[in-house]
Amino acid sequence: MQFDYDLYVIGAGSGGVRAARMSAGHGARVAIAESTYLGGTCVNVGCVPKKLFVYGSHFHEDFDDASAYGWTVAPAQFDWPTLRDNKSVEIQRLNGIYENMLNAAGVDLHLGHAQLVDPHTITVEGNQYTAERILIATGGWPVVPEFPGNEHVITSNDAFHLPTFPNEVTVVGGGYIAVEFAGIFSGLGAQTTLLYRGPLFLRNFDDSVREFVKEELIKKNIELRFNTNVESIEMIANRRRLHLTDATHVDTDLVLYATGRKPNTQNLGLDAAGVQLGSNGEVLVNASYQTNIEHIYAIGDVTDRIQLTPVAIEEGMCIANNLFTDRPHKRLSYDNIPTAVFCQPNIGTVGLTEAQAIERHGGDLAIYESQFRPMKHTMSGREERTFMKMIVRKTDDVVIGVHMVGPDAGEILQGIAVAMVAGATKSQFDATVGIHPTAAEEFVTLREISRRA
Ligand SMILES: Cc1cc2nc3c(=O)[nH]c(=O)nc-3n(C[C@H](O)[C@H](O)[C@H](O)COP(=O)(O)OP(=O)(O)OC[C@H]3O[C@@H](n4cnc5c(N)ncnc54)[C@H](O)[C@@H]3O)c2cc1C
């Protein structure tokens, strides 16, 4: 049978665009469908606008700190429409870049909602296309739980377009998106509460990191409410009253729910094609990203595994290489995936947490920890501190986990991640000359074992 395309990609986000461009570069005839915005979550309502907001929110501390360095700064004022709209202009520029990249690669772009009609046929805005292989890269979408008054909350998608900036905000959730937005709102001047039903946020991160970040957020006057949840929300005048499970309430102007995301698999026609889904609606795939229908693949957030842009991109690269080159089968290693949380100060992390290391390797670990006031704040007087932790497997001296909370932790951990992927030992860290004066040099001068585990 003759198909219109060798590969049809549904979803022009991080993973889909990479798979489409690379496959076309290998000579395949490729089309991609996009229903909402080119570049997907990361570019439009995720990593990029969020990081721009984090930059914006940090300036008030920078203005304060400047005085110890001799600067007189006129009373600083924040204008929300300027930040919001400048961010949107930058995002539009990136949308254009994505379109140009797809055009330059020779990928056909179909704007509209795509659906499968049968295992080889896709329909977009009334047009039908056939493809030998189909890639589902439709990402995810924030979900708000059912409770009375849940129509009065927003999600991270809405936070990027608020018409006015609130005086008081309550962020509900304990994942990294909740913690980041609490920092953004607080830094931009809103009185901010972070509310989470568990005992402590950032559940999958190292426990020392979680405790340390908690203390830092308290210093920044973010009110933390743990072990409680929202039962209902009522509107009182223009404000929201959150009735909580501990029988107290919180009054606030804005409620941001960041309690989870669901794979975008509704109205995709996956049932028509016979593609199996998991309990959260995610597309189930094997190690080669293949669904139960062997010519239909899925990558990125729609598979509900590690929800990070570089992971979706790498999975897209694997698809292109494996389907359209004769190079050896490429698989992504899911060990040692570094990541950052852009709370303030930032978290950077790679490898195992202490709890994971104990579980996996038993009790033969050396834990090195350090915390200190960053040099900049020795003069500014700010109370913010930096934390570092390294976990070493004693049997072979290999560094199996590194965690940091401090300015630019993400930037610093990227280099550490290279060393860990290469299997670096503690002795090799020790043999590395530091860069002085930096915070990062601490990672090559950690001499004293803080404890054995
Ligand atoms: C607030 C926030 C902050 C984040 N910050 C970070 C970060 O700092 N670092 C990081 O690595 N990751 C971050 N992420 C996660 C990251 O954005 C995602 O992991 C990544 O975008 C996933 O890429 P993807 O290709 O799987 O899906 P997406 O980028 O979501 O792309 C899917 C695309 O498919 C389109 N689509 C869906 N259904 C259809 C259909 N039927 N037809 C046509 N098109 C369709 C969607 O419109 C979308 O454009 C963040 C996410 C959020 C929400």
Averaged pLDDT for residues 118-126: 97
- State the chain's mean pLDDT as an integer: 97
Residue 256 is predicted with a pLDDT of: 98
Averaged pLDDT for residues 216-229: 98
Phi, psi of 427 (to 5 degrees): -60, -35
**356 Cβ contact partners less than 8 Å away, ≥ 6 residues apart:** 401
Nearest to 273 by CA among 113, 136, 127: 136
Residue 375 is predicted with a pLDDT of: 97
Q: Check pLDDT > 90 for residue 329.
A: no
Query: For the chain, how long is the longest CA-to-CA vector?
Result: 74
Which residue out of 34, 111, 160, 309 has the highest number of ligand 1 atoms within 8 Å of its CB and is therefore the one to mutate? Answer: 309
Cβ of 370 closer than 6 Å to ligand 1, yes or no, is no
List active site positions: 436
Gap from CA of 436 to ligand 1 centroid (Å): 38
Residue 363 is predicted with a pLDDT of: 77
Residue 300 is predicted with a pLDDT of: 98
Give pLDDT tens digits for 292-315: 999 999 999 999 999 999 999 999
Q: Encoding tokens for residue 279? A: 């309990």
Residue 327 pLDDT grade (very low, low, confident, very high; cuts 50, 70, 90): confident
Residue 13 is predicted with a pLDDT of: 98
Cβ of 401 closer than 6 Å to ligand 1, yes or no, is no
Regarding predicted confidence, which is higher, 453 or 341? Answer: 341
Share of the chain above pLDDT 90, in %: 97
Gap from CA of 259 to ligand 1 centroid (Å): 16
Give pLDDT tens digits for 18-46: 999 999 999 999 999 999 999 999 999 99
29 to 58, 120, 193: CA distances (angstroms): 46, 15, 51
Cβ of 453 closer than 6 Å to ligand 1, yes or no, is no
User: pTM for this one?
Assistant: 0.97
CA of residue 425 relative to chain centroid, distance? 28
Residue 328 is predicted with a pLDDT of: 61
Give pLDDT tens digits for 235-293: 999 999 999 999 999 999 999 999 999 999 999 999 999 999 999 999 999 999 999 99
Residue 3 is predicted with a pLDDT of: 98
Residue 161 is predicted with a pLDDT of: 98
Averaged pLDDT for residues 81-98: 98
Gap from CA of 122 to ligand 1 centroid (Å): 21
Gap from CA of 307 to ligand 1 centroid (Å): 8
Nearest to 389 by CA among 359, 357, 431: 357
Give pLDDT tens digits for 331-368: 789 999 999 999 999 999 999 999 999 999 887 999 99
Averaged pLDDT for residues 394-407: 97
Q: Check pLDDT > 70 for residue 228.
A: yes
Residue 331 is predicted with a pLDDT of: 79
